[in-house]
């Protein structure tokens, strides 16, 4: 009888642990972020940011890989490395060409044909052509970024995706560990509209699933203005696409400083619709294990706050302290019950 009760209590305690972790990991949970249009053709199976097709159920390398993205960046563990400045060709120019803005059901993607923008320097080997940029966001300002820093998430994150010029196209680049370089920009919700991000107004043109619009590049601010003012402070690590098929081919750059957009501007993203016609309220993948990888920092990362004050309108961790506390309390209660039963 005693051992039966122990088993019962263990089962109850496990169930309560799963439940207590739920609101952080499940409800707001598991999302992913990358919305490359080109990715959809690589995904043989339907995937999403929720339910049975959400991040917990992604297969293949997404499930088995040891160098997955995003990650929780622990600033105190980042190793200083003078990676150098980026050379961002044409990021300061408005070129006479068109961009395509699209809703691919996983997010908003801006595709850049022609390979006119390139990224090199910054510790990267070789040169990378920027092929598109896209955004990840959450249903509220406490979540939405894919990367988190010291457990703290931002309301959104933008990814500039560039393809190694050693390879003829993205399909080929996806086969090599140095195939892609992605620049990640954290986004905070603060203040008035950010004019450099006025392209977000195009989200209203692509609310419906699979809708797209061709827009003159001159309607966008130069890319340099979308990036943080300080482009020399960033984290660097080797990782993966954050959407299926999760290829481990990405040299990641995550800028230390965030950019600001307004509440109205992030609201435009949250109105995009998924394939089922419902709002795509979140499209981020939660952090994956670092395993044996090292994160480098181009700056003295020990100055980054490990416990940032909860600022209104920004941050907080999706997998944070509250759930840990609940789990600890659950374990403690279970132990007490078991001890009581055994007596």
Q: In the complex, what is the shortest distance from the CB of residue 323 to Zn ion, in angstroms, rounded to a whole number?
A: 25
Nearer to Zn ion, 20 or 259 (CB): 259
* Closer residue to Zn ion (CB): 159 or 188: 159
> Could you say which residues in the range 127-166 bind Zn ion, by CB under 5 A?
159
Which residues on neighbouring strands pair with residue 184, listed in sequence order?
159, 254
What minimum distance in Å lies between the beta carbon of 58 and Zn ion?
14
Q: Candidates 3-11, 33-41, 89-97, 266-274 — which segment interacts with Zn ion by CB under 5 A? A: 33-41
Extract the runs of DSSP E, i.e. beta strands, from 143-206.
148-149, 156-164, 180-189
Least distance CB 129 / Zn ion (angstroms): 17
Give the separation between CA 110 and CA 197, rounded to whole angstroms: 13
Entry field: residues in the chain: 343
Q: Does 34 bind Zn ion (CB under 5 A)?
A: yes
Looking at the Cβ atoms of 161 and 301, the one nearer to Zn ion is: 161
**What is the distance between the alpha carbons of residues 316 and 145, in angstroms, rounded to a whole number?**
10
**For residues 154 and 185, is the Cβ–Cβ distance under 8 A?**
no
Least gap, CB of 38 to Zn ion (angstroms): 12
* 57 has catalytic annotation: no
116: CB partners within 8 A, 6+ apart: 90, 95, 97
- The interface region with Zn ion, picked from 25-33, 167-175, 213-221, 293-301 by CB under 5 A, is 25-33
**Among residues 33, 65, 155, 239, the one that binds Zn ion under rule CB under 5 A:** 33
41-70 residues near Zn ion, rule: CB under 5 A: none
Count of H helices and E strands in the chain? 7, 15
Check 106, 134, 136, 147 and give the catalytic one: 106
Handedness of CA 186, 189, 190, 193 (dihedral sign): positive
CA distance linking residue 165 with residue 167, whole number of Å: 5
Contacts with Zn ion: how many residues (CB under 5 A)? 3
Which residue, 20 or 170, has its beta carbon nearer to Zn ion?
Answer: 170
Q: For Zn ion, which residue has the nearest CB? A: 34
Angle 232-237-242 from CA coordinates, rounded to 5°? 110
Q: Which is nearer to Zn ion, 20 or 69 (CB)?
A: 69
Q: Which residues are catalytic?
A: 106
Q: Which residues form the interface with Zn ion (CB under 5 A)?
A: 33-34, 159
């Amino acid at each position: 009888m005693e051992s039966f009760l122990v088993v019962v209590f263990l089962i109850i305690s496990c169930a309560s642990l799963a439940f207590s972790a739920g609101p952080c990991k499940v409800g707001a949970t598991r999302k992913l972020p990358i919305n490359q249009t080109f990715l959809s053709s690589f995904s043989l199976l339907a995937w999403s940011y929720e339910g049975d097709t959400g991040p917990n159920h992604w297969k293949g390398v997404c499930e088995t890989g040891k160098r997955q993205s995003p990650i929780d960046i622990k600033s105190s563990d980042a190793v200083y490395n003078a990676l150098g400045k980026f050379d961002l060709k044409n990021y300061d120019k408005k070129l006479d060409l068109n961009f395509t803005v699209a809703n691919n059901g996983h997010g908003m993607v801006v595709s850049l044909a022609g390979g006119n923008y390139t990224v090199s320097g910054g510790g990267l080997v070789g040169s990378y052509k920027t092929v598109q940029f896209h955004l990840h966001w959450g249903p509220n300002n406490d979540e939405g970024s894919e990367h988190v820093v010291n457990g703290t998430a931002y309301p959104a994150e933008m990814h500039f995706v560039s393809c190694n010029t050693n390879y003829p196209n993205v399909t080929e680049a996806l086969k090599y560990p140095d195939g892609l370089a992605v620049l990640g920009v954290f986004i905070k919700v603060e203040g008035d509209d950010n004019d450099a991000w006025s392209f977000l107004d195009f989200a209203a043109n692509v609310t419906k699933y699979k809708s797209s619009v061709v827009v003159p590049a001159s309607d966008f601010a130069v890319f340099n203005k979308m990036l943080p003012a300080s482009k020399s402070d960033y984290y660097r690590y080797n990782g993966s696409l954050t959407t299926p098929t999760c290829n481990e081919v990405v040299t990641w750059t995550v800028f230390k400083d965030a950019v600001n957009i307004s509440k109205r501007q992030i609201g435009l993203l949250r109105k995009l619709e998924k394939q089922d016609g419902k709002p795509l309220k979140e499209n981020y993948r939660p952090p994956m294990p670092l395993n044996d990888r090292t994160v480098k920092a181009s700056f003295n990362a020990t100055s980054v706050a490990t416990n940032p004050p909860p600022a209104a309108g920004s941050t907080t961790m999706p997998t944070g302290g509250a759930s840990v506390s609940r789990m600890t309390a659950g374990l403690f209660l279970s132990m007490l019950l078991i001890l009581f039963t055994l007596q």
